[in-house]
């Protein structure tokens, strides 16, 4: 279940170099690779290229589909559908994957990368569950849409050897659906300790609002994980800081909330950097 952390070479032969680029901040490196190639054809693809196709258009051919590209990034990965109907402003799925549609041919593998699996109809949902029942350690890696979870679907998900159940809590407005979905999974028999929520951070909210979401999950015995927003055209990772945030405080916030396995018993205000700041202020 290990993901490649870098650009993946889908083909590397005397005549052809094919690259798959996931993150837009990897595009400058990909451009350097393309420009060094003068004797063979270069094809580039992947999510980052779909988001910013013009960036490499002058030095490579823009590819549309390469069989097995997902598995080249993670041999344990699969997907049963593509696309999402939500159209969230912070998300690039609509541009990367297009209209929501189910896939008829996909390998049964544990890391399921559908962008919004619960948007699929009952027939596809049930066929997918039945096929994955023989797979160990299933993980819907992109998360499940809490607004679409029903008791019937929760019961069927619990038929799988499900590692975790992940939802997304992107803004304050999603509190009700997220907490209801967590309760539905618990009533279906899924352990609370294995329910997690991705919490979008650095996208227009204040630190207090982000803290509220993560602290609410913690108080409910659920794990929240902060996901730092990156603009869809970011050429440098973690360079963007929303106007509502201070860059240093954002780093501290992300560090603290992503390490709750070790820091669950430590209050944010009691972390060493806050203690130092409070001490210096008291001495003034």
Instruction: Print pLDDT tens along the chain (284 aa).
Output: 689 989 999 999 999 999 999 999 999 999 999 999 989 999 999 999 999 999 999 999 999 889 899 999 999 999 999 999 999 999 999 999 999 999 999 999 999 999 999 999 999 999 999 999 999 999 999 999 999 999 999 999 999 999 999 999 999 899 999 999 999 999 999 999 999 999 999 999 999 999 999 999 999 999 999 999 999 999 999 999 999 999 999 999 999 999 998 888 888 888 876 555 444 444 44
H or E element: which one contains 218? helix 207-219
Instruction: State the Cα–Cα distance between residues 56 and 62, nearest whole angstrom.
Output: 8
Residue 216 in contact with residue 197, Cβ under 8 Å?
no
How many Cα neighbours within 13 Å face the side chain of 201?
28
């Amino acid at each position: 279940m290990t993901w490649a952390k870098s650009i993946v070479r889908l083909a590397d032969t005397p005549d052809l170099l094919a690259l798959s680029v996931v993150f837009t901040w990897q595009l400058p490196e990909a451009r350097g690779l393309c420009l060094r190639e003068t004797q063979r054809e270069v094809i580039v693809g992947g999510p980052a290229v779909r988001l910013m196709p013009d960036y490499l258009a002058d030095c490579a051919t823009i590819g549309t589909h390469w069989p097995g590209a997902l598995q080249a990034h993670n041999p344990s990965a699969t997907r049963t559908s593509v696309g999402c109907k939500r159209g969230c402003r912070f998300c690039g799925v609509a541009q990367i994957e297009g209209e929501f549609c189910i896939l008829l041919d996909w390998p049964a593998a544990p890391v399921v990368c559908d962008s919004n699996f619960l948007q699929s109809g009952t027939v596809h949902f049930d066929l997918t569950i039945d096929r994955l029942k023989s797979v160990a350690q299933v993980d819907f890696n992109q998360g499940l849409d809490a607004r679409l979870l029903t008791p019937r679907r929760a019961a069927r998900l619990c038929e799988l050897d499900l590692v975790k159940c992940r939802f997304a809590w992107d803004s304050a407005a999603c509190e009700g659906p997220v907490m209801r979905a967590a309760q539905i999974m618990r009533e279906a028999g899924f352990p609370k300790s294995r329910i997690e929520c991705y919490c979008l951070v650095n996208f227009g909210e204040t630190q207090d609002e982000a803290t509220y979401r993560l602290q609410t999950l913690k108080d409910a015995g659920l794990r929240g994980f902060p996901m730092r927003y990156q603009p869809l055209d970011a050429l440098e990772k973690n360079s963007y800081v929303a106007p509502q945030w201070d860059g240093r405080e954002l780093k501290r916030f992300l560090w603290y909330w992503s390490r709750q396995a070790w820091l669950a018993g430590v209050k944010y205000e009691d972390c060493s950097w806050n203690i130092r700041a409070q001490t210096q202020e008291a001495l003034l």
